[in-house]
């Protein structure tokens, strides 16, 4: 296979595309991987609707983009320590927050967060269970010059316990999973420069930012509230309806995502495999 076999169709105006013509049952040619990577930098998240990958195939594909990163504060699939099991039971209470049910970038509480990940749809409800994705380049670029100048030097404190404590800043308003805290808080620039595209982006993560450096949570909250609302503006987003066997490849540095909890009475199972990157750098 060469790259000319790939069919790439944008999903929305500013983020997201579907790619057809990839056979994950065989090793992918370098030209195909190059084309997929270029599509990822352009569209930020790409989807393969009928990938139907096994856990082994998902790990092998993800490894093309960086070393695999094992999950923290989340369960792995039995026998596959690099595969995060993302599931919600059919009888889960409606008020129980689903996995990923707040705008966030995955595991930004790490000193070196994952650069990206793949997400495979194993079992999905007949309706509902979609995921929203947003473009953090545009979230930065559409701010006023004055606001960008204010934000450029700011440092955000990311914490694995931020989703548990409403007094620590802008967190999951519906209540997050009850997490242990084996990792120390980390500091990342609020405005991040992407290492491949060299574009500035608004590096916000609703689940994990506790406050700004040298500010209290209470002082930080008003600005964080605004930034999270701004980053989720509909014109920056796309919405993906999962089908069984679909596979997503996501740049975790310049996007946020939100798993919608609207499938009460149905089971949903996804497999996530993360790949490593670099410590975030500011402008």
Ramachandran bin of 174, using left for φ above 0, alpha for ψ from -120 to 50, beta for the remaining angles: alpha
**Annotated catalytic residue within 88, 104, 110, 192:** 104
Q: Looking at the structure, do residues 110 and 11 belong to the same domain, yes or no?
A: yes
φ, ψ at 240 (rounded to 5°): -115, 125
Integer Cα distance of 197 and 206 in angstroms: 24
34 given a catalytic annotation: no
Instruction: Give, for all 283 residues of the chain, the pLDDT tens digit.
Output: 444 578 999 999 999 999 998 999 999 999 999 999 999 999 999 999 999 999 999 999 999 999 999 988 778 899 999 999 999 989 888 777 777 888 999 989 899 999 999 999 999 999 999 999 999 999 999 999 999 999 999 999 998 876 554 433 333 333 334 444 467 899 999 999 999 999 999 999 887 899 999 999 999 999 999 999 999 999 999 999 999 999 999 999 999 999 999 999 999 999 999 999 899 999 9
Integer Cα distance of 84 and 269 in angstroms: 10
pLDDT at 164: 55
Q: Looking at the structure, do residues 61 and 153 belong to the same domain, yes or no?
A: no
pTM over 0.75: yes
Q: Looking at the structure, do residues 176 and 122 belong to the same domain, yes or no?
A: no
Tokens of 215: 């500010």
Q: Looking at the structure, do residues 183 and 208 belong to the same domain, yes or no?
A: yes
**Annotated catalytic residue within 88, 106, 221, 228:** 106
Please check whether residue 175 lies inside any domain of the structure. Answer: yes
257 given a catalytic annotation: yes
Q: Looking at the structure, do residues 30 and 118 belong to the same domain, yes or no?
A: yes
Number of H helices, E strands in the chain: 5, 17
Please check whether residue 281 lies inside any domain of the structure. Answer: no
Whose CA is closest to 248, among 277, 276, 278, 270? 270
pLDDT at 100: 81
Please check whether residue 29 lies inside any domain of the structure. Answer: yes
Per the structure, the count of domains in the chain is 2
Q: Looking at the structure, do residues 168 and 242 belong to the same domain, yes or no?
A: no
Q: Which residue has the tokens 């596979």?
A: 247
Integer Cα distance of 225 and 279 in angstroms: 25
194 given a catalytic annotation: no
Please check whether residue 99 lies inside any domain of the structure. Answer: no
Q: Decide: 189 and 280 in contact? Cβ < 8 Å.
A: yes
pLDDT at 163: 59
pLDDT at 182: 63
Residue after which a domain boundary falls, among 195, 212, 231: 231
**Annotated catalytic residue within 188, 257, 268, 271:** 257
How many residues appear in the chain?
A: 283
pLDDT at 166: 44
Which alpha helices (DSSP H) does 86-195 contain, by range?
A: 136-141, 145-151
Domain that holds residue 63: 3-92+106-131+238-275
Q: Give Rg (Cα) of the chain.
A: 18
**Annotated catalytic residue within 110, 168, 188, 272:** 272
Q: Which residues lie across from 154 on neighbouring strands?
A: none
Q: Which residues lie across from 226 on neighbouring strands?
A: none
Residue 53 belongs to domain with CATH number: 3.60.130.10
């Amino acid at each position: 296979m060469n790259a000319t076999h790939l069919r790439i169709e944008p999903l929305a105006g500013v983020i997201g595309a579907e790619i057809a013509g990839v056979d994950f049952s065989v090793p992918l040619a370098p030209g195909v991987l190059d084309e997929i990577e270029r599509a990822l930098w352009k569209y930020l998240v790409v989807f393969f609707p009928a990938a139907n990958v096994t856990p082994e195939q998902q790990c092998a594909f993800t490894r093309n983009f960086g070393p695999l990163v094992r999950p923290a504060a989340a369960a792995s699939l039995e026998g596959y320590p690099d595969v995060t099991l993302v599931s919600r039971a059919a009888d889960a209470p409606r008020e129980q927050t689903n996995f990923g049910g707040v705008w966030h970038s995955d595991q930004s509480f790490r000193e070196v967060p994952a650069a990206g990940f793949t997400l495979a749809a194993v079992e999905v409800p007949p309706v509902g269970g979609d995921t929203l994705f947003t473009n953090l380049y545009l979230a930065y670029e559409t701010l006023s010059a004055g606001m960008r100048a204010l934000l450029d030097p700011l440092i955000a404190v990311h914490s694995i316990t931020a989703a548990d404590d409403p007094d620590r800043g802008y967190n999951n308003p519906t209540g997050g999973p009850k997490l242990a805290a084996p990792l120390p808080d980390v500091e990342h620039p609020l405005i991040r420069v992407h290492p491949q595209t060299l574009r500035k982006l608004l590096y916000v993560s609703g689940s994990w930012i506790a406050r700004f450096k040298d500010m209290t949570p209470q002082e930080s909250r008003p600005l964080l509230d605004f930034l999270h609302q701004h980053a989720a503006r509909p014109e920056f987003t796309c919405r993906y309806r999962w089908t069984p066997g679909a596979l997503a490849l996501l740049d975790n540095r310049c996007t946020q995502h939100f798993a919608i909890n609207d499938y009460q009475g149905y089971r949903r199972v996804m497999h996530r495999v993360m790949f490593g990157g670099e410590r975030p750098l500011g402008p």
